[in-house]
Homo-oligomer: A and B are copies of this chain.
């Protein structure tokens, strides 16, 4: 091991998804831990995986996006207490990105809410035990709900060939769903939720697989997608950074408000939602730091193992870089940074203090990958 890569014994504490065995056998090169589960880092290397994702289709074992099931008469009320987004009238087939906040308006997670039925919701979480927030609120207010982790594991089907693969395996009708909408597809006789969503900008789906072993389904997808160049993959750092998909616990930390994370459009502060962070957020509408895309000059960057300080051109503190990657498609380095207000306008020159020296950088007007979605 060295200072950027470690040896990690696999233990009982690291739960495996129904797709773990197949994904592992497909050649995962390493893992990190996410929601106490293992998620693969790469298969054929960062650049090869990135280029493949952009031209073909990948199967992602993202069982680490745990589901919190909230069921019962007070289910929607409980979810609404956790988010400033007004979700009181979402459609039956809708998925909704919901920043979740505490009583101070600070972010506790940034999940996707899936409406399963009028009194049944799944909160598909990023890396924090958001279930404990719901359990605490439900017990304190004696709400009429059950809050638990169901046996559901998302499988990502991501990339430009995802539509073709889904049509072959689940039928043409399944591909007619809109963005962040879902439908039921048949998996060995059991209906399961398939949504047009996922943690890439290349298009695709997430199948909410229910059951203990996903091997048969995985093989069916692999067999059906041979000429579509289907391969195992995992969320791609370079692709998600150039597309501005934020990561909870790096780009979004628990001390940040949705406004600081650039998620103000999901905060409905004038609606009477009941969100427990509403009063706090009303007082924090105008952030003094906010997430921005930046371009970082020079060749490929060193591995990032901790936040890199960001300074103005003359060395004054200006924020921090929380993610950075080589964008091979655009031929430059992209960073996601939390930038102080004095420095956050597009074009402002900055310096990034990487682990291997300083680099010139500048604020971009947008994430380059966002246009290609």
Contacts and interface: CB of A to CB of B under 8 A. Distances in A.
A68 to B, nearest CB: 11
A127 B36 contact: yes
A15 to B, nearest CB: 9
Interface stretch (A27-35, A212-220, A259-267, A293-301): A27-35
A33 B32 contact: yes
A367 interface: no
Contacts of A38: 6
Contacts of A133: 132-133, 135-136
A31 B1 CA distance: 10
A373 interface: no
Contact of A6 (B31, B134, B135): B31
Interface in A99-146: 102-103, 108, 127-130, 132-141
Interface of A: 1, 3-14, 16, 24, 29-33, 36, 38, 41, 81, 102-103, 108, 127-130, 132-141, 149, 247, 249-250, 254, 276-277, 303-307, 322-323
Contact of A135 (B136, B138, B247): B136
A32 B5 contact: no
Prevailing SS type, chain A contact patch: loop
A103 B133 CA distance: 12
B132 A322 contact: no
A41 B103 contact: no
Most buried by B among A6, A41, A133: A6
Task: Report the 3 A-B pairs with minimum CB-CB distance, sorted nearest first.
Answer: A136-B136, A103-B139, A7-B30
Contact of A129 (B3, B129, B138): B129
Nearest to A251: B12
Contact of A4 (B9, B32, B247, B254): B9
A135 B102 contact: yes
Contact of A136 (B6, B36, B137): B137
Contacts of A12: 249-250, 304-307, 322-323
